[in-house]
Amino acid sequence: MNDQIKEILESEDVDVLMGWFDRLSKHLTLCARTLFPNRQKGYQNTAANLKHYIKHKVTAINLKATGQIQEAEYHEQIYAAILNTLKQTGLIK
């Protein structure tokens, strides 16, 4: 796994995550090629799923910060499911 993907998966910094979300939203194919330079099968779908992962992770972080724990847990479940899907592709470990 490259450092950029590791940063996305491990970061708790909303600004870092939103930076990636914005890049993926505006330039999905370009970002996909950066994240997966070997262009393995499914790399663009994996990049799109990373975008959804980030969206739910940021939402969970923000909800926790405002004390909305149940809502945050709901989004945590979603991004955990997305992460499992990402791992099944074999492009992310």
Is the entire prediction scored with pTM above 0.85? yes
Tokens of 5: 């993907």
**In the chain, domain spans:** 3-88
Mention every residue, 6+ apart, whose C-beta is less than 8 A from residue 88: none
Q: How far apart are CA 45 and CA 43, in angstroms?
A: 6
Task: Write the pLDDT tens digit of every residue in 21-52.
Answer: 999 999 999 999 999 998 989 999 999 999 99
pLDDT at 92: 83
SS3 66: coil
Q: Which residue has the higher pLDDT, 15 or 89?
A: 15
